[in-house]
Amino acid sequence: MIQPQMPETKHWSFRRDVENLGWLTINTPGAPVNTLSREAIMELETLVERFEDLASSHELVGVILLSGKDSGFIAGADVSEFDAMSDFSVLPEALKRTHALFARIEALKIPVVAGIHGFCLGGGLELALACHYRIAVNNDKTRIGFPEVNLGIFPGFGGTGRSIRQAGPVDAMQIMLTGKMLRAGAARGMNLVDKLVRHRDMLAWEARKAVLGKRKSREAALVKKVMGMGPARSYVANKMREQTAKKVRREHYPAPYALIDLFEAHGNDWRAMIRGETERFVPLMGSETATNLRRVFFASESLKKLGAKGAKFARVHVIGAGVMGGDIAAWCALKGMSVTLQDLDVERIQPALDRGKKLFKKRLRKKFEVDAAELRLEADPTGKGISRADVIIEAVVEKLEVKQSIFGGLEDKLKPGAILATNTSSIELERIAEHLKQPERLIGLHFFNPVAQLPLVEVIRSTFNTDAEIGKGAAFALAIGKSPVVVKSAPGFLVNRVLMPYMLGAVQRVEAGESKELLDAAAVAFGMPMGPIELMDTVGLDVGKSVATELGHAIPVESKFATLVKDGKLGRKSGEGFYKWVDGKAQKGETPDHADLAGLGRELVKPLVDMTEVVVGEGVVPNADLADIGVILGTGFAPFRGGPLRARQNGKA
Ligand code: NAI
């Protein structure tokens, strides 16, 4: 088979077969996932030029775009280039070029078909949408969506208009505004994909049929398009603004609002939408929010590289089936591990198994998966799982003697190389490990409550540990889908240490007569996910008080805080704390007016930022970047501000 003369490319390979079908494969060199870097786009330009020639001379009947990587199709544009691209002088030109390229692909006289497996996100989806037909593998790995909002932008390669053309305004805007990743079936349901196949190896055959049959994707049905027409559009745009406002504020996260404005202006005409895209996109890319969110993105990506290579974790044994131990055990079972859960008797373990069942039902889709997860989580009151476990996590009551005696009794039973960890939130590891024969084996794996929701695990390093134990601990956290930040064994570690002065500061102001509603509203206006008083109620006043005492903060006996604890008013879990709680919601009164709410929020957050500086200064975390990401993941601290230290650097905290 004589191959046509093609340009040299690093990111793409091309082959024409006997039927004159062109097989174009993307394979980003030296990277685990494909991205659309500027170089990849420029190479694609040269290829498309050839496709135009070959099509007009009838030497090519169609192009099939596939990925050469197991990880998926294309994960998006290359985010590492974004900082350079946020330069206003180059960005519009670069976007214009990509828009022109995608339009040329769309205008090719021969069918262009995308075959999708795994991740097809952001710029990758935009490229797929510029093809004439899309086929996706219908398995658990396929993920299709626009995660751009998470980076403070929206789709910039024409995806705004093309997704509306395919899915209609309501569905398309929904996925762009939320950044939600769709499974293959849902993407098909929205008409973002035209055909599903069961296996990756069926993509090529189906794509060939699509080209030879000159199949072309259909636009969204009229009933869907109607919502973008006439006065309906403004109504829909306003609804979207209302929904968005429930989650984020315009001054913090401008991207979704800018996208809604774009939709309101042009949502009835997908081409006009694309034409208007760049003008609204460019200022977002250079904004402080986007710059900070990119930094958070890179910091969380860097945490993924922390773990020791090759460590395998099949069996986990958890001691203590209370709030934390029970939820940690269930989480590990959810993530595919076999878990034995120990407590003083089976009766104390049962509630944890019941909670586990609820979690599995919520997170797993198929009944057989739920059943399998239930089987993986086993009550083990006698500790028979200890000798087989790859990881042992202790989460019993916060008492030194109890913890010491548990570890003392374990040491001789362990499998060689097993991780030995405590979930203590305040006791120094050195003291727990004091009497161990191999004190270097004990690390901390400090989870946060609720385990299923908070992504951070502080991997606590004692003076006895070496890199080997810590690397394994981090690898385990990653294996269960959590983000590890390595922290020195010092009271409060990172997150509790910085949270306490912030929450207590607010509690003191409430004690002095200030409105809790106002303080909470102010922290939210600053960008916190919830205010400090509501947070204290959520954590539990008893837990808060004991951590505060452990960290040396005095809580006067006659204070409101101490009285609430004494009266069993422990916050959300008991139905009353500083607030009354109904159905998991704090019952708030009127918020008094305040001239500078965000300014007040900034004042409230100051002790947290100050303490983060102290913690970095003491070397509890190795550097400012890790402190910032740890505080964001562990407390929800305003990600758009880039973390407490970045916020201070930018003069925002
Ligand atoms: P919890 O009181 O809910 O559970 C402790 C469990 O340990 C109870 O079920 C108890 O029966 C069991 N237990 C006591 N002695 C035992 C023994 N000798 N053998 C086996 N089981 C025994 O406590 P929680 O809140 O789950 O805390 C557990 C640990 O996790 C503590 O070290 C705490 O500091 C830490 N932690 C707690 C957080 C929270 O928000 N509650 C957050 C992060 C860490």
CA distances, 217 to each of 23, 70, 213, 488 (Å): 20, 26, 12, 56
Residue with tokens 């990119």: 294
Backbone angles phi, psi at 366, to 5 degrees: -105, 150
Q: What is the largest CA-CA distance in the chain?
A: 90
Low-confidence ranges of the chain (pLDDT < 70): none
Q: Is any atom of ligand 1 closer than 6 Å to the C-beta of 425?
A: yes
Do 97 and 41 form a contact (C-beta atoms < 8 A)?
yes
For residue 118, give the DSSP letter: B
3-class SS at 470? Answer: helix
Q: Which of 132, 153, 136 is nearest to 74 (CA)?
A: 136
The CATH code belonging to domain 315-489 is 3.40.50.720
Residue 328: which of 477, 440, 460, 537 has the closest Cα?
A: 477
| CA pair distance 487, 493, nearest whole angstrom | 6
Peptide bond into 450 cis (omega under 30): yes
C-alpha radius of gyration, the chain, whole number: 27
> Does the 496-649 domain belong in CATH 1.10.1040.50?
yes
**Cβ of 323 below 6 Å from ligand 1:** yes
325 lines ligand 1 (CB under 6 A): yes
Does the CB atom of residue 543 touch ligand 1 within 6 A?
Answer: yes
What's the confidence (pLDDT) of residue 226?
87
171 with 224: CB under 8 angstroms?
Answer: yes
CA dihedral angle for residue 121, residue 122, residue 123, residue 124, rounded to 10 degrees: 10
Question: What spacing in Å lies between the alpha carbon of 319 and ligand 1's midpoint?
Answer: 9
Q: Which helix or strand (DSSP H or E) is residue 14 part of?
A: strand 12-16
- Centroid of ligand 1 to alpha carbon of 560 (angstroms): 26
- CA 539 to ligand 1: nearest atom: 40
Mutate to test the pocket of ligand 1, among 331, 348, 396 (most ligand atoms within 8 A of CB): 396
In this prediction, residue 597 carries a pLDDT of 95
Q: Which atom of ligand 1 is nearest to the CA of 426?
A: 34
Task: Find tokens 């008013």 and name the residue.
Answer: 569
3-state secondary structure 568-595: CCCEHHHCECCCEEECCEEECCCCCCCC
Gap between the terminal Cα atoms of the chain? 66
Ligand 1 centroid from CA 324, angstroms? 6
The single-letter code of the amino acid at 109 is K
Ligand 1 mutation pick, 317, 318, 319, 323, max ligand atoms within 8 A of CB: 323
Q: Are 551 and 497 in contact (CB under 8 A)?
A: yes
Query: What CATH homologous superfamily does 12-286 map to?
Result: 2-enoyl-CoA Hydratase; Chain A, domain 1 (3.90.226.10)
Residue type at 44 in one-letter notation = L
- Residue 568 burial (10 A CB sphere; 0-12, 13-18, 19+): exposed
Q: What is the pLDDT of residue 645?
A: 97
- Give the pLDDT confidence score for residue 84 in this predicted structure: 77
Nearest CA, atom 1, ligand 1: 322
Q: Active-site residues: which are they?
A: 446
The identity of residue 145, as a single letter, is G
Please give the distance, rounded to the nearest whole angstrom, from the Cα atom of residue 320 to the centre of ligand 1: 6
Q: Which atom of ligand 1 is nearest to the CA of 540?
A: 40
The pLDDT, as a whole number, for residue 311 is 84
Compute the half-sphere exposure of residue 4: CA atoms within 13 Å on the CB side of its CA. Answer: 24
How many angstroms is it from 446 CA to the middle of ligand 1? 12
How many Cα neighbours within 13 Å face the side chain of 461? 19
List helix spans (H) across 249-399.
Answer: 254-266, 270-285, 288-303, 323-334, 346-363, 367-376
Percentages of the chain per state (helix, strand, coil), in multiples of 5: 50, 15, 35
pLDDT at position 305: 85
DSSP-based three-state secondary structure for 223: helix
Is the Cα dihedral 126, 128, 129, 132 positive or negative?
positive
Contact 196, 210 (CB under 8 A): no
Q: At 22, is the secondary structure helix, strand, or coil?
A: strand
Mutate to test the pocket of ligand 1, among 347, 354, 425 (most ligand atoms within 8 A of CB): 425
Residue range 584-597, pLDDT digits in tens: 899 999 999 999 99
For 294, counting Cβ atoms within 10 Å of its Cβ (0-12 exposed, 13-18 middle, 19+ buried), the class is buried
**Amino acid code (one letter) for 172:** A
Residue 339: name the closest of 479, 167, 211 by CA: 479
Positive or negative, the CA dihedral 448, 451, 452, 457 is positive
Measured distance CA(525)–CA(447) in Å, rounded: 28
CA dihedral angle for residue 426, residue 429, residue 435, residue 438, rounded to 10 degrees? 160
Please indicate whether residue 532, judged by its CB atom, sits closer than 6 Å to ligand 1: no
Residue 74: helix, strand or coil by DSSP?
strand
Residue 397 near ligand 1, beta carbon < 6 Å = yes
- The candidate with the shortest Cα–Cα distance to 627, out of 646, 607, 652, 640, is 646
Distance (Å, rounded) from C-alpha 552 to C-alpha 548? Answer: 6
Q: What ranges do the domains of the chain cover? A: 12-286, 315-489, 496-649
